[in-house]
Amino acid sequence: MAQKRAVLAVLLFLPISLVEAHNRVSVEAGHEAVLSCPNIFKVPFLLVTWRSSCSSCCLLSYRTDLKKISRLNCSERIKWKYSSVRDPALHIYPVSLRDEGNYTCEIASSEGNFNFFSSLTVIVPPTVTLTQDKIRVAVCQASAGKPPADISWIPASNHSSEEEFHHPNGTVTRVSYFGWANSSFPSVTCLITHPAMNQTLVMDLRDTSHDFPGLLYILIGAAAGVGAVTGLTLCLIFRCRACWLCKQARGPAEHFTTKTWKFRVRREAVKPPDFPEPIYENYHSRSIYVCL
């Protein structure tokens, strides 16, 4: 009877094992990854072990008779999903690129030893930008994505080109170029498609200020020049005005004679009504230099 049950277990497990061997899990970086290890016979197992494909990677096991958990080269991010040993799923959070790879769940029970295989793929969403260069070319870039993002344009153009750069961590940067030098499109749209995200970026082509990268500096220089000329003109106007007021304050030109007798006679004949006589008696030639 026991032999029949063993044979039946092998026959029942064989098709399921083939399905589980191709179990694939894709998780975005930073999220939670759960790898299942089902107990298909619903009987208590003696030992369950999770191991990754590399020999020096994590090994996590639980022995039911001793109620003992063993960890080897496993970080705190890797643990059992549930406390119950009836569902020994593996839990990884937060998942990162270094967790990517193949994992094997080994179950030892009274029915025999069975292996379940899972393949973990970590998805990294790219960083997208849409810029333009000096030769009227739109540049749409999806940086450090895994897998590489797909880039398309609206409207479609035969003048678009694309290149990609591979990084050591497995991510890829794709850059697409769209030229519109001889077209009259009001705008251009970049479409980025990725398993972790879909994004649309729009650029208005009617703003041609980017064709003159030095325009801003030219305007600033012109404004500075106008300001300098205006300041010099105002300075000359104020200086002339000050000299004129100074001359008005001294009175007619005849007062500047150096002859004392003529100065006094003229001063008595034409006496400024607003200034007393002592101002002419104390007159000094330096005042002429100051008012010039």
pLDDT tens per residue across span 54-107: 767 889 999 988 888 899 998 889 998 876 566 788 999 999 999 999 999 998
Q: Are 2-123 and 127-211 the same fold in CATH?
A: yes
Phi, psi of 251 (to 5 degrees): 95, -165
pLDDT mean across residues, the chain: 75
Domain residue spans in the chain? 2-123, 127-211, 215-291
> Does residue 195 have a pLDDT over 80?
yes
Tell me how far apart the alpha carbons of residues 188 and 185 are, in angstroms, rounded to a whole number: 7
Statement: residue 23 has pLDDT above 80 = yes
Region 17-24: what's the mean pLDDT? 55
Range in 97-111, 183-197, 206-220, 231-245 with the lowest mean pLDDT: 206-220
Find, among 98, 71, 262, the residue nearest to 171 by Cα. Answer: 98
212 pLDDT above the threshold of 70: no
What's residue 40's pLDDT? 65
pLDDT score recorded for residue 102: 93
pLDDT value of residue 232: 73
Confidence class for position 7, pLDDT limits 50, 70, 90: very low
Comparing 5-9, 35-39, 77-81, 227-231, the range with the smallest average pLDDT is 5-9
Query: What topology does CATH give the domain 127-211?
Result: Immunoglobulin-like (2.60.40)
Confidence of residue 210 (pLDDT cuts 50, 70, 90): very low
Report the pLDDT averaged over residues 36-50: 80
* pLDDT at residue 233, rounded to an integer: 75
Strand pairing of 127-132 and 137-145? antiparallel
Q: Helix, strand, or coil here: 260?
A: helix
Q: What is the pLDDT of residue 265?
A: 40
pLDDT of 275 over the 70 cut: no
- Considering just the CA atoms, what is the radius of gyration of the chain in Å? 45
Residue range 261-283: mean pLDDT, rounded: 47
Burial 37-71 (b: 16+ CB within 10 A, else e): bbbbbeeebebbbbbbeeeebbebbbbeeeeeeee
User: Is the link from the previous residue into 278 a cis peptide, with omega within 30 of 0?
Assistant: no
Domain 2-123 class in CATH: mainly beta
For the chain, give the percent of residues with pLDDT over 70: 62
Residue 149 confidence (pLDDT) = 97
Distance from chain centroid for Cα 80: 36
Per-residue pLDDT at 1:
44
